[in-house]
Amino acid sequence: MPNQALNILPRPPLAGEFVPADYFRTLGRGEICRDGRPLEVDLGCGDGSFLMEMARHHPERDFLGVERLLGRVCKVCRKATRQQLENARVLRLESRYVVEWLLPEGAVSRVHLLCPDPWPKVRHHRRRLVQVEFLEAVSRVLMPGGEFLFMTDHEEYFQWAEEKVAAFGGLERLEWIEAAFFYPKTDFQQFWESEGKTMWRLRCRKPGVAEPCAQSGRIPETR
Ligand SMILES: C[S@@+](CC[C@H](N)C(=O)[O-])C[C@H]1O[C@@H](n2cnc3c(N)ncnc32)[C@H](O)[C@@H]1O
């Protein structure tokens, strides 16, 4: 992932930060995908523990964390730099905008949305990230055979997400058995589990078969 240090931020870019050359057009694949390496996107990456562990475990893949809070972006960038994880980058931007407008079509092998804000009040449900339009955009950026993984401690948001996936109809449901493949716990997951809460998991796949080791990236084995 090239990190163009153009002077378009009101501050110097951080080491490990991904700064698009232009925030107002869709990225070209060459701007975000490196040499046919699979690209995984973690929306709302928070303090980045999941992102760091995934990047360490899968040096053959690239990871992009998306986070709107600058303090958290700085923290994740510091961790990636300290751990010399060149395959992990962070983009400070709003997740929906990134998926709907910035990421190129068919470029992403997995989109992770883990412990997102559940917006429990009915009048705030429209603020939830998982909506039919969002799923359409997720499906567009995924390569054929690519996956969307959603996890929450909030049962009602989980049911909402199931309903939206069914209403969209463009993603196939897959089984997600815990520990069936490498999937480190996120910071919020650890917190909720320490409080005795259940985590609800939804895993979906974009239909189609990825070209083996295509220029755009190779679908990773999920282990
Ligand atoms: C509840 S935390 C979960 C963090 C991490 N995924 C985890 O499981 O530990 C949600 C994170 O998403 C970020 N966030 C919430 N809405 C966002 C949005 N629309 N775009 C980008 N980041 C967002 C928040 O700032 C926060 O860091």
CATH number of the domain residue 167 falls in: 3.40.50.150
> Does a structural domain hold residue 223?
no
Q: Give how far Cα 89 sits from Cα of 1, 28, 142, 194, 216, Å.
A: 8, 17, 18, 29, 18
Residue 19 dihedral angles phi and psi, to the nearest 5°: -120, 110
Rounded to an integer, the average pLDDT of 66-90 is 96
Task: Tell me, in angstroms, the distance from the centre of ligand 1 to residue 217's CA.
Answer: 26
Task: Tell me, in angstroms, the distance from the centre of ligand 1 to residue 209's CA.
Answer: 31
> Does a structural domain hold residue 213?
no
Rounded to an integer, the average pLDDT of 198-221 is 71
Which positions are annotated as active-site residues?
A: 117
> Does a structural domain hold residue 190?
yes
> Does a structural domain hold residue 214?
no
**Mean pLDDT of the chain, nearest integer:** 92
Tokens standing for 216? 């755009």
Q: Count CB neighbours of 2 within 10 A.
A: 11
Instruction: Please give the share of the chain, as a percent, with pLDDT higher than 90.
Output: 85
> Does a structural domain hold residue 2?
no
> Does a structural domain hold residue 210?
no
Rounded to an integer, the average pLDDT of 187-205 is 97
Given a cut of 90, whether residue 5 has pLDDT beyond it is no
> Does a structural domain hold residue 144?
yes
How many alpha carbons fall within 13 Å on the CB side of residue 86?
A: 6
Residue 209, pLDDT score:
86
Per-residue pLDDT band for 148 (boundaries 50, 70, 90) equals: very high
Beta carbons within 8 Å of 182's beta carbon, 6+ residues apart: 54, 57, 58, 223
Per-residue pLDDT band for 7 (boundaries 50, 70, 90) equals: low
Q: Give how far Cα 85 sits from Cα of 18, 73, 151, Å.
A: 13, 15, 25
Per-residue pLDDT band for 218 (boundaries 50, 70, 90) equals: very low
Ligand 1, atom 12, residue with closest C-alpha: 44
Given a cut of 90, whether residue 17 has pLDDT beyond it is yes
Per-residue pLDDT band for 208 (boundaries 50, 70, 90) equals: very high
Instruction: Output 13 or 215, whichever has higher pLDDT.
Output: 13
Task: Tell me, in angstroms, the distance from the centre of ligand 1 to residue 47's CA.
Answer: 9
> Does a structural domain hold residue 14?
no
Given a cut of 60, whether residue 78 has pLDDT beyond it is yes
Residue 217, pLDDT score:
39
Per-residue pLDDT band for 10 (boundaries 50, 70, 90) equals: confident
**What residues does ligand 1 touch, defined as CB less than 6 Å away?**
44-46, 66-69, 72, 94-96, 114-117, 186-189
Domain that includes residue 52, residue range: 29-205
Nearest-atom index, ligand 1, CA of 187: 9
Nearest-atom index, ligand 1, CA of 96: 19
Instruction: Output 178 or 2, whichever has higher pLDDT.
Output: 178
Given a cut of 70, whether residue 6 has pLDDT beyond it is no
For the chain, what is the domain count? 1
2's enclosing H/E stretch is none
* pLDDT digits 0-9 by tens, 91-104: 999 999 999 999 99
Rounded to an integer, the average pLDDT of 18-46 is 94
Residue 8, pLDDT score:
77
Residue 38, pLDDT score:
96
